[in-house]
Amino acid sequence: MKIPWIFHKDYDIPLPKNHRFSSSKFGDLYTLLIDSYLAKSAEVFIPNPAKDTQLTKVHTREYINKIKNGNLSTKEEKILGLPWSETLVKRSYLAVNGTYLASKLALVNGIACHLAGGTHHAHANHGSGFCVFNDLAYAAKNIISDGKCKKVLIIDCDVHQGDGTAEICKNDNNIYTCSIHASNNFPSIKVESDLDIGLDDMISDEDYLRIIQSALTTCSNKIKPDLVLYDAGVDVHKNDKLGRLNISSKCMLKRDLEVLKFFKSKNIPITTVIGGGYSSNNIELAQRHALIFHAADQIFNAKK
């Protein structure tokens, strides 16, 4: 089978030199993947921009207009952490729909992998921590309201807590949110998810994997989802600039394999998004983000 990869060439945005967010992160990952053996068993899909009627299921009309028209205050732009530009608007409209397209494809194929996504700090009425619109909440809400799914589980393994997703989905009984993050990291004020697991800075690979396993069991006891959205953030890595944890690449691959194996064995489709990852070495960063694509290939394309 071919694993759907979702990507758009306009995901990257121009940023000032030395900005903590890489201005070529998405293109670097695409280049690495498309030149690898994984591409033989993958098919690339290109998302369309989101419609405002889809965005209002997640964000306030006022906030959407501020983004569209470039009317963020200096303070709002500072909290967002990215300079406003036409390119940023375009990317933000495309990327949320990328996760939604991936989710529709996952329902058909069992798996689909977005080469972006995981913008979990975006709240209903403001952006935060490099996140303009919340793709996880957007995909979950829209796929349910379009009648393609009844229940969605969001598992967020980015090192930062999924505060925006928790806030947007808090009163939605059809969406279960789980965040496994570093307690001492951003955001300083956490928003309560359905399940939050705060990790100590010095957690070992073994303890981390044990916690992931137990979180998977807890989640599947709480909700029987038709779809899982998995944020495979790589900012848990020991060399991540913003991470604080000490997790190895080998352990991150094991984590991704465990998550995919767990839901595949239950026949529950899974959408993966890349989540956070920060390094001044663009190649290393792309290699870390590529791990989830290796995991998907191993679990879904393994020779029988």
Q: Which is nearer to Zn ion, 160 or 288 (CB)?
A: 160
Q: Which is nearer to Zn ion, 104 or 160 (CB)?
A: 160
With CB atoms as reference, the residue minimizing the distance to Zn ion is: 276
* Nearest-angstrom CA–CA distance, 28 and 5: 14
Q: Which is nearer to Zn ion, 49 or 276 (CB)?
A: 276
* Nearest-angstrom CA–CA distance, 212 and 232: 12
Distances (CA, A) of 269 to 108, 134, 153, 226: 8, 21, 11, 7
* Nearest-angstrom CA–CA distance, 158 and 151: 22
CB of 233 to Zn ion, least distance (A): 5
CB of 81 to Zn ion, least distance (A): 11
CB 229 within 8 A of CB 269: no
CB of 264 to Zn ion, least distance (A): 25
Question: Given the rule CB under 5 A, which residues bind Zn ion?
Answer: 158, 160, 235, 276
Q: Which is nearer to Zn ion, 158 or 194 (CB)?
A: 158
- Looking at residue 70, its amino acid is G
CB of 187 to Zn ion, least distance (A): 10
Q: Which is nearer to Zn ion, 64 or 131 (CB)?
A: 131
Q: Which is nearer to Zn ion, 240 or 297 (CB)?
A: 240
CB of 184 to Zn ion, least distance (A): 13
CB of 61 to Zn ion, least distance (A): 28
Q: Which is nearer to Zn ion, 135 or 158 (CB)?
A: 158
Closest CA to 138 of 193, 67, 56, 60: 56
- Looking at residue 223, its amino acid is I
CB of 269 to Zn ion, least distance (A): 24
